Chains A and B, each alone.
Chain A
């Protein structure tokens, strides 16, 4: 057990180091960009501003000419207090509040879609490999690859026009019905599910093929191993062989992939959010880049980076449980 704890702590130490590097890069990159971010910021304040006004605004945004190390220290200090500065495009709202308007919705929509897609794809992949050459194995992979190969933008638009606009089965926009108030009440929760159904379905359809093929291919390899033959020879039930012996091992690469994919959930499913007018991180990120809103960009990148690291740490733990070899 102590070795287990030591291993986990070592990984945690590694992630802490990675987080520090990410935080520092996040500080440096905007400052290393060519041109004066302040100048670009004020260009959007149409009109010929007074130099006095510009100086006053620089101060408000915390743009100082202090030495780099001092700026770095105050950046770290602010970060620990959860203060990521003031957004330029949503002035004077703090970055933290701006991110909060979409974060939970991004996690909900993209997270749900990812989990469904992962579970369904992995299960289908395992079954397809188990009955290799069967109906599922010969129809599903090419069909799903075909769907996945459509430009996502086009497919989502088509779904919106067909099922939202044409048939009127699903809402055309937004994440919950207008009359409901967010909270633990049935109309809101049911409405939120209903609103998420179509966008989530498009993400699942687009990504299912990837999970399924990856699982199927690993599974085919695993099923050819000697220990599976041995397990079968010992007369274990096919179901037990499939789940406990084959799938458990074949799952490992997909779990790693899941950790990576989960990190990107916080980046938001950009196109989904735009097409379905769904609140979330993706659109904020685009907005921040367009407006050269450095504080907001930094805040978003930091959220994404930390989420990727966090998800990978969780994946480490899951891998540890599935694969005893990693414990050594």
Chain B
């Protein structure tokens, strides 16, 4: 009996502890605090090292806490002056001069100057482990010119290097000079120039960073603090978005109009501009049949892109352009190419004709085709397990390829396994992205430059399919040496002509840049109607434009539009 009483009191105690919480678990909010879900982690590690790749240091570190000289805005294709007020080229493309902004202060109140910029670049030279972008591969020296300007000399003319230089986060010389080992320094209390610098709270589940008291943009930021709850996967982020807990995220959400917007049409919104690059199907040169341009074009003609987008991508995007350039490169597109030109459209009859011409004969009526040597041609489309939209897209492509007699099967690999195979060129066909940059230079260099062709079995960052073209090499070198926009555009057109003739990779669809917002607490989000930057938090440093573009929502509930 005593025991029963004891058990009863335990239950009562538990209920007592639980009851105050047994109401609806509405998220609680403090005014001015913006909740962001960008990184997927189950617990936070305090790291604000500005030179580490995304995902290693906390998300706002490189753009938000620290700031770059300029920000390339992918939406309009222009550089936005930031810590530098401008730049100019001289001596062709072998010297660039940045004019450094006056009146900027570090978050501890001390003045920022051009010397900090020089110090930052020299730090990367002294500590090569920090130079993950490889800027000292083309830089020769970085010096002050005595008038508050910083002159950067190149080892050789290299105009595409501008973005890497402009986007480097600048650190205070006074602080970083004292650090014994800048490589393994986790920088727990950053001193920086960005809008958010004061870590208010850091726990393993939630952390928060407040605004910089000395921020150089007067009256900015209008957001008081950024808050980061840890969510391990997309599903948890989606749940938090629907629940109204997260204000800003960049996740993939299936059927977003119903699942997310439908929950609260007044406040929930998204914008998926198609500027992030294109997604390609890469045919590896390892497969003898793929060394024939007719076969590569036939593969492309056999793919029903509309169906891929409808079935796998919830109509979030549109089919690729003839030369594969996404909307982010709209002004670089060849004026002579229109939709339906070339081989980036659906035409199974033409595909069959090309395959017949290439000698890939069907084995019997309606059978699968054999390779040019007469052996059966069995191909594998490698894809990343768990990237469900891509897996479905590959399944649709395999089906349409089989319709023209190409025996293709989808095989899903774990990310690392896939990445390793793909970087070594050890695949038949794979879906993948391209290198990105302000101009199409990086796109085409990664698709058809001979200097990016590594032997099979050696891990390569770009050109997984191992395709090289001599003329493209020459054009890319010419591109590096010029800063003249018109000349660059003409080179880009010629590169697109080569792409159309050679079909080194098969563009499938434009990759959306995922972004979701909630206007309940903050307004001023970039949207199709107010496209001042990408909404997605996944592309720093453009995120700085959003951080300084937001303001608290008017207190009334009657906010209808997001302006």
Contact = CB atoms under 8 A, between A and B. Distances in A.
Interface of A: 35, 39-40, 43-50, 52-53, 55-57, 59-60, 86, 89-93, 97-98, 101-102, 160, 164-165, 168-176, 178, 182, 190-191, 193-194, 197, 273-275, 277-280, 283-284, 287, 289-292
A52 B137 CA distance: 10
Contact of A284 (B42, B53, B136): B42
A40 B45 contact: no
B232 A292 contact: no
A194 B17 contact: yes
Given A283-B232, A284-B42, A174 B205 contact: yes
Q: How large is the interface on B (under 10, 10 to 19, 20 to 34, 35 or more residues)?
A: 35 or more
Nearest to B44: A101
B459 A39 contact: yes
27 contacts: A45-B132, A46-B461, A50-B136, A55-B128, A59-B129, A90-B47, A91-B49, A91-B56, A92-B49, A101-B43, A101-B45, A101-B204, A160-B239, A168-B24, A169-B22, A169-B25, A176-B205, A182-B203, A274-B233, A275-B235, A275-B236, A277-B229, A279-B205, A279-B230, A284-B42, A287-B41, A290-B416
A53 B131 CA distance: 6
Nearest to B231: A277
A279 B137 contact: no
Interface in B178-201: 183-186
Nearest to B18: A194
A311 B504 CA distance: 58
A101 B206 CA distance: 12
Nearest to B46: A93
Nearest to A167: B24
Given A165-B239, A168-B25, A292-B416, A279 B17 contact: no
B21 A194 contact: yes
A172 B42 contact: no
B523 interface: no
Given A175-B205, A290-B415, A89 B42 contact: no
Given A40-B416, A49-B134, A280 B42 contact: yes
Q: Which 4 A-B pairs have the closest CB atoms?
A: A56-B129, A168-B24, A283-B42, A92-B184
B131 A50 contact: yes
B236 A277 contact: yes
B338 interface: no
B220 to A, nearest CB: 27
B43 A102 contact: yes
Interface in B36-89: 41-45, 47, 49, 52-53, 55-56
A193 B21 CA distance: 11
Contacts of B186: 92-93
B419 interface: yes
A49 B42 contact: no
B174 to A, nearest CB: 22
B230 A43 contact: no
Contacts of A170: 25
B138 to A, nearest CB: 10
Contact of A97 (B45, B55, B416, B461): B45
Contacts of B132: 45-47, 49, 53
Given A45-B53, A193-B17, A279 B43 contact: yes
Interface string B423-458: 100000000000000000000000000000000000
Nearest to B208: A178
Given A101-B43, A174-B229, A164 B25 contact: yes
B240 interface: yes
B134 A50 contact: yes
A49 B124 CA distance: 12
Contacts of A273: 42, 232
B461 A48 contact: yes
A70 B392 CA distance: 49
Nearest to B420: A40
A143 to B, nearest CB: 22
Most buried by A among B17, B42, B130, B233: B42
Contacts of A280: 42-43
Contacts of B134: 47-50, 53
Interface in B364-406: none
Contact of B42 (A35, A160, A168, A278): A278
A56 to B, nearest CB: 4
Nearest to A169: B22
Interface string B119-137: 0000000011111111011
Nearest to A35: B420
B221 to A, nearest CB: 22
Nearest to A93: B45
B183 A92 contact: yes
A40 B415 CA distance: 12
Interface string B1-43: 0000000000000100110011111101000000000000111
A66 B449 CA distance: 37
Given A50-B128, A174-B230, A283-B232, A193 B14 contact: yes
B243 interface: yes
Contact of B131 (A49, A101, A176, A194): A49
Given A47-B132, A56-B128, A101-B44, 12 more contacts: A43-B461, A49-B131, A56-B127, A89-B56, A91-B49, A92-B183, A170-B25, A178-B229, A182-B203, A277-B230, A277-B232, A277-B236
Given A47-B461, A170-B25, A178 B206 contact: yes
Contacts of A194: 17-18, 21
Contacts of A176: 205
A102 B205 CA distance: 10
B419 A43 contact: yes
A40 B232 contact: no
Contact of A57 (B43, B129, B420): B129
A97 B186 CA distance: 12
A190 B17 contact: yes
Contacts of B233: 274
A116 to B, nearest CB: 12
Given A53-B128, A101-B43, A277-B230, A173 B240 contact: yes
Most buried by A among B21, B236, B414, B461: B21
Contacts of A44: 53
Contacts of B206: 174, 178
Most buried by B among A52, A92, A164, A176: A92
Contacts of A86: 184
A174 B205 CA distance: 7
B276 to A, nearest CB: 15
Contacts of B28: 178
Given A46-B53, A165-B243, A173-B231, A52 B42 contact: no
Contact of A48 (B24, B127, B137): B137
Contacts of B243: 165, 172
Contact of A93 (B47, B53, B130, B229): B47
Contacts of B235: 275
Nearest to A45: B132
B133 A47 contact: yes
Most buried by B among A176, A178, A278, A291: A178
A238 B206 CA distance: 54
A233 to B, nearest CB: 29
Contacts of A102: 42-43, 204
Given A173-B229, A190-B17, A277-B42, A43 B205 contact: no
Most buried by A among B26, B129, B461: B129
B45 A90 contact: yes
A176 B229 CA distance: 12
